Structure 1
Amino acid sequence: MNLVIPSVFEHLKTKCQVLVNGLVCFKCVECLTTVENFETLKTHLKSHSAESDFVCFVCDKLLTRTNILIDHIRSVHQKIRDFSCNYCTRTFSTVYNLREHVNIHTALKKHVCEVCGQAFVHKGGLRSHKFSHGDSRFLCSICGNSYKNPIFLKRHIRDAHTKPSKSICDICGSELKSENMNKHAAVHSTERPFVCTLCGAAYKWKKHLVRHQKNCKETN
């Protein structure tokens, strides 16, 4: 399904708009700070980046920083992959992911298999490879299938036996576990049922209220 997803800042700008004496201002989602323009608000939000949860408005995933949220939406939901590998045809959504991938082509392969001589960039790659030389079999306790590599067994159990039931959000089209759908619905709701008894600030999620009240008590 192709989703029409607004940018992070478009969504945040709409969400934070408030009227103060008839003028459009912007209120911080994490504290009571209200500023006159959106650029000032974006600067202010950085003061919360070490402690705040930024919620993806598409899938409800919690992330710790605004830039991580932006990368998440670009790569996962908008499928934007601007960074291309010069050694192969693969593309990536962030510079970091591209750099990690390029190591496959350029990094020194110092982890060498003593059985066959095949070399690997990462120690984990060698560890996984060694199972190909052994006689051990890893048995699925559910269906009896066996695998030489425990990673393959884990993948089999995940895909064949524990795949969760999914539901589709009627508003944004996100595919989520059925048990998470009610929680996800709060992303699209304007209701803020969790109200601070100290200052009246309201939140969609109880954990945000608990964190806010803790900060209120520390500053009073």
Structure 2
Amino acid sequence: MDMHAGVNNVECDVCGKAFTRKAALKRHVDMHVGIKNHTCTICGKAFTRKSHLKRHVDMHAGSKNHECAICGKAFTRQGVLKLHMDMHAGIKNHTCAICGKAFTRSSHLKFHMDTHAGIKNHTCAICDKEFTEKGTFKLHMAMHAGIKNHECAICGKAFTEKGALRHHMDVHAGIKDHECDVCGKAFTWKGHLKRHMDMHAGIKNHTCAICGKAFTEKLALKRHLDMHAGIKNHTCAICGKAFTRKSYLKIHMDMHAGIKNHEGAICGKAFNANGSIRHHMAVHAGIKKS
């Protein structure tokens, strides 16, 4: 009768949690002492409760009976579906005490707290890069393996991460939400804006070990190193001339096509490359190249 009345007669000596039944208290205490009598016959993972083992076995069987009414995604457990629904609703009950950032799940907050603490338990065996989150680590390993399961329906380009595909779709849609406060130039990706701002600030953290030249972007340094190595992956289909950069090949192709978009302001002479017009303007200015 006490159980129906909601009376809690038995209490846990460890944490003080109360229960209506001794059997429920026993199961709870087993959790504290780490007793796991219910073992999965497929993978060997053990659980304190039989119900937890059943949910785990359902996962192996691929049973996903709990479906989201909004997006159709299915889950093994009702509790996971609830967390997913909270995401749709924008409910974030787990807040970081350091920076105030809020999360839908307590596990996500834990990962975030590890970031503040500088804890990185997942290390890549290939490049030694360390990660706080297991999910981010798995995506990184997929990148090494060349796994790209997320393909653009417009151009066919494939990506390792779903988020990267979303950003790519923004490029197709012409969405540029990240604007530079200095010059007004807009970017699709926040990371590209940051690199652009570094350029304004004169920050060049990527230095060539051969000649000492510094660059704002890591990619720019890579292209520069290709030049040192004599790597020319961009070849003209008309004459076979090869270039270090794709942009150089484009300028070269404009020459074949007779395209001259750069016109001198003094004499009106047109050129296919920006560099060529700069040299030409230097002639007008009487500057002789040493």
Same fold (TM over 0.5): no
Q: Which has the bigger relative contact order, CA under 8 A and spacing at least 6?
A: 1
User: Normalising by the residue count of structure 2, what TM-score does the alignment of the two structures yield?
Assistant: 0.29
Higher Rg of the two aligned structures:
2
User: Normalising by the residue count of structure 1, what TM-score does the alignment of the two structures yield?
Assistant: 0.35
